[in-house]
Structure 1
């Protein structure tokens, strides 16, 4: 019997495989669909596509998607989109501004009354309207922060105050709820006219009509004279707000304040400055809406902006903003406003009763809240 070599015995034993390194959860590849669902604007983008498909089926042959039809619903979306951007940023910070609708009518009256009855130049009235609106926005924000009262209550009070002041101003100076002739004064002022009245790219549209690229009226003019300036302002406001929210420290502060204001304050975030600045922004957006509307219609009216604050909040919620703050997207709010414009104007191109418009928007709001809650739950619990 041969002796067993201890060295050979050791070599014959199977060597266990080394333990595999533990995969870091942060390096785990997230599926594309899951990443897409996690974006705040996904719901509004999907909703926009769905709404366009529906109206393409039921109103595709009615002219809704002709150039003039597109301009009609895009212009409605642009007006709402301006205040929806302001509402979105404020909601991400965890606050609401219910005075935006009343501010629209009040700012229009602040533009009209001094220029029509007090002998002010139009540019002076314009600066007065924006300055007074933003001061009122500052007061809103200061009261909310200083008193710790819910912004819902403070701005609800200002909603009634501003609506009442608008009626007082209009009836006192014009004995009516409408001040007419403002459009002519704006047209006579080069600066105000260039910024807020009419449309842009008129030469381009005339050239396109002359070469048969777009339809023409019997007079030979293009069916659409240009891009309405409200759409240009919407683009500017949305781009600036989106950049600030996504690429700047102030944008990070907005998310932090909406997530937990106390924790944000403890780590050095200037909560007071952030909140007051955002109330000033919503007042600016409402005033911009009012000025553009007065320049377009040619008059100021006491009932302008009625319920627009709710439409702005709905557009922001459809766009992915949470009612509890800390989550949202400017792009999503813009898509939410676009859905409003398509539905509001698109219904008139179909045989559907226009009374169904608000039913549809209420259903969209409920769906958006449920969808956002589901996405938020998945993000926080992983289920």
Structure 2
């Protein structure tokens, strides 16, 4: 028999690993994956167009714009905050780019840099106001939403006399910028848009940051408990501001893809879409209370949106049913995510 050395700690019993089903339930993405699978199977049976190469690339295209934003919004929600200005910001950044490139004669790349700085500035201001005033982010970003909506309309009408800016394809640097943000890759009958590739890349990058970096740990910490996060030395203010800036940068990406692809932007573009981003994040497992969620789940939630939106079109249903689908999906996701988060907490214990 082996005798432990004096003063040494007693051997700890081996930790029993949780069964595979419990570990799967503990994964935030599992609920979103099950929902996406159900939607995929339903429309696959209902219509042949849904699984055609062109059909697949179409619903991926629809999902990509929501997906890029849903990933950033998911990070913010895991950090315990909301951004109601995310939708209108996609239009604001596109308008800044278009006005500078078309009416001021700037090279598109300089215009894109300026619009990115604008987006990051608004995001930083939102984050700073939330932390400085301690007002709910819902109120602060609602104010930003209204302000940006008024600026978009007023400035656009003042400069152009209308509520639209068009003709960016004639601006200097369009060819190279369009190749990066608005190109199309043809694979057989499929048409893969640049926005879809951006969605995949940004989701992968965000997932790595959230799961394998110190900043990812900070995000979960500030969303779980600000007091505890401060106690262990997490830079709470910096983390929150960076999350709001990330959301604004994602809006800039979506706005850039849209303006370079469609050649025009309306002053009202993006208004109302912020709720789709939040719903996609919630469907993807993010809790409204913060501290739990997954960017991969948010991407899957956006994919569910894309499949449902195009599936309804392919099935020749009345498009009004799409909003009913969103409402049911949101309520179901909140209920399921609450149960999954409780199981995840028990598994960790």
Q: TM range, normalised to the smaller chain?
A: over 0.9
Displacement, 1:64?
2.0
Residue in structure 1 matched with residue 132 of structure 2 by the alignment: 146
Displacement, 1:23?
9.5
Q: Is the CA contact (8 Å cut-off) linking 2:28 and 2:341 kept in structure 1? A: no
> Structure 1 stretches (4+) deviating beyond 6 angstroms?
none
Q: Is the CA contact (8 Å cut-off) linking 2:100 and 2:106 kept in structure 1? A: yes
1:299 to 258, 261, 264: 264
Displacement, 1:120?
1.5
Task: Report the 3-state secondary structure (helix = DSSP H, G, I; strand = E; otherwise coil) of the residue aligned with 1:300.
Answer: strand
Displacement, 1:184?
3.6
1:171 to 157, 180, 203: 157
CA–CA separation in structure 2 for the residues paired with 1:143 and 1:263 = 22
Q: Is 1:45–2:10 an aligned residue pair? A: no
Task: For 1:11-22, list aligned pairs within 5 A.
Answer: none
Q: Is the CA contact (8 Å cut-off) linking 1:92 and 1:254 kept in structure 2? A: yes
For residues 49-105 of structure 1, the C-alpha deviation after alignment (integer angstroms, 9 at most, x for no partner) is: 10000001112x2x2211111111101111111000100000000000000011011
How many matched pairs?
338
For residues 95-129 of structure 1, the C-alpha deviation after alignment (integer angstroms, 9 at most, x for no partner) is: 00000011011111001111111122211111111
Residue in structure 2 matched with residue 357 of structure 1 by the alignment: 322
> 5+ unaligned residues in a row in structure 2: which ranges?
1-10
Residue in structure 2 matched with residue 93 of structure 1 by the alignment: 79
Task: Report the 3-state secondary structure (helix = DSSP H, G, I; strand = E; otherwise coil) of the residue aligned with 1:166.
Answer: helix
Q: Is 1:318–2:303 an aligned residue pair? A: no
Q: Is 1:196–2:161 an aligned residue pair? A: no
Task: Report the 3-state secondary structure (helix = DSSP H, G, I; strand = E; otherwise coil) of the residue aligned with 2:171.
Answer: helix
Task: For 1:264-283, list aligned pairs within 5 A.
Answer: 264-283=229-248
Task: Report the 3-state secondary structure (helix = DSSP H, G, I; strand = E; otherwise coil) of the residue aligned with 1:64.
Answer: helix
CA separation of 1:279 and 1:352: change in aligned 2, threshold 3 A: same
Task: Report the 3-state secondary structure (helix = DSSP H, G, I; strand = E; otherwise coil) of the residue aligned with 2:106.
Answer: coil
TM-score (norm 1): 0.85
Displacement, 1:312?
0.7
CA–CA separation in structure 2 for the residues paired with 1:45 and 1:375 = 13
Displacement, 1:170?
1.7
CA–CA separation in structure 1 for the residues paired with 2:345 and 2:218 = 20
CA–CA separation in structure 2 for the residues paired with 1:151 and 1:122 = 33
Q: Is the CA contact (8 Å cut-off) linking 1:44 and 1:320 kept in structure 2? A: yes
Task: Report the 3-state secondary structure (helix = DSSP H, G, I; strand = E; otherwise coil) of the residue aligned with 1:321.
Answer: coil
Residue in structure 2 matched with residue 77 of structure 1 by the alignment: 63
For residues 194-246 of structure 1, the C-alpha deviation after alignment (integer angstroms, 9 at most, x for no partner) is: 2212224x5xx3xxxxxxxx3xxxxxxxx34x521101111111111110000
User: Comparing 134-143 with 304-313, which one deviates more in the overlay?
Assistant: 304-313
Residue in structure 2 matched with residue 336 of structure 1 by the alignment: 301
Displacement, 1:381?
5.7
User: Comparing 162-171 with 277-286, which one deviates more in the overlay?
Assistant: 162-171
Task: Report the 3-state secondary structure (helix = DSSP H, G, I; strand = E; otherwise coil) of the residue aligned with 1:227.
Answer: strand
Task: Report the 3-state secondary structure (helix = DSSP H, G, I; strand = E; otherwise coil) of the residue aligned with 1:244.
Answer: helix
TM-score (norm 2): 0.93
RMSD: 1.8
Residue in structure 2 matched with residue 117 of structure 1 by the alignment: 103
Task: Report the 3-state secondary structure (helix = DSSP H, G, I; strand = E; otherwise coil) of the residue aligned with 2:50.
Answer: coil
> 5+ unaligned residues in a row in structure 1: which ranges?
1-21, 206-213, 215-222
Q: Is the CA contact (8 Å cut-off) linking 2:168 and 2:174 kept in structure 1? A: no
For residues 126-175 of structure 1, the C-alpha deviation after alignment (integer angstroms, 9 at most, x for no partner) is: 11111111111000000001111100000000001111111112211222
CA–CA separation in structure 2 for the residues paired with 1:279 and 1:351 = 39
CA–CA separation in structure 2 for the residues paired with 1:313 and 1:261 = 22
CA–CA separation in structure 2 for the residues paired with 1:184 and 1:33 = 56
CA separation of 1:264 and 1:335: change in aligned 2, threshold 3 A: same
CA–CA separation in structure 2 for the residues paired with 1:373 and 1:148 = 26
Residue in structure 2 matched with residue 285 of structure 1 by the alignment: 250
Q: Is the CA contact (8 Å cut-off) linking 1:196 and 1:229 kept in structure 2? A: yes
Q: Is the CA contact (8 Å cut-off) linking 2:61 and 2:192 kept in structure 1? A: no
CA–CA separation in structure 2 for the residues paired with 1:373 and 1:318 = 11
Task: Report the 3-state secondary structure (helix = DSSP H, G, I; strand = E; otherwise coil) of the residue aligned with 2:131.
Answer: helix
Q: Is the CA contact (8 Å cut-off) linking 1:319 and 1:335 kept in structure 2? A: yes
Task: For 1:4-15, list aligned pairs within 5 A.
Answer: none
